[in-house]
Amino acid sequence: MTEIHTAAAPRPAGAYSQGIEAAGFVWTAGFGPQDPATGAVADTVGAQTTRVLRNVEAVLEARGLTLADVVKTTVHLQHLHRDFEEFNEAYEHFFAAPYPARTTVGSDLMDILVEIDVVAVRRS
């Protein structure tokens, strides 16, 4: 098992890793929309989704992977019904068919609108 750490993604705020690689898979932490350099958070769910996926992308890149290697995403939206369409529009810019499997749920998030974690596979 290998811990993944990169300055290009927000530092963990608790006892967890940005990502873990094991058995050919990479699991990322759930990332919020904080800019890793400034800590700033955008106001809209679309802009937050873009930042979150860039944070996830940075962790994958630290292990030589890309979003094309993602097989599963889990998405938490603060306002599921209100924000789903805008979230989904931003999300679609990062993935191509065949899309990863995805679970999207409404969650009580701490002052953010979206959090995403992924599972990626190292292709042989």
Domain boundaries, the chain: 2-121
Residue with structure tokens 């924000």? Answer: 83
pTM of the model: 0.95
Instruction: Please name the fold of domain 2-121.
Output: 60s Ribosomal Protein L30; Chain: A; (3.30.1330)
Q: Buried b / exposed e across 55-90, counting CB within 10 Å, b at 16+? A: bbbbbbebbebebebbeebbbbbbeeeebbebbbeb
* Predicted confidence (pLDDT) per residue in 25-77, tens digit: 999 999 999 999 999 999 999 999 999 999 999 999 999 999 999 999 999 99
* Predicted confidence (pLDDT) per residue in 74-112, tens digit: 999 999 999 999 999 999 999 999 999 999 999 999 999
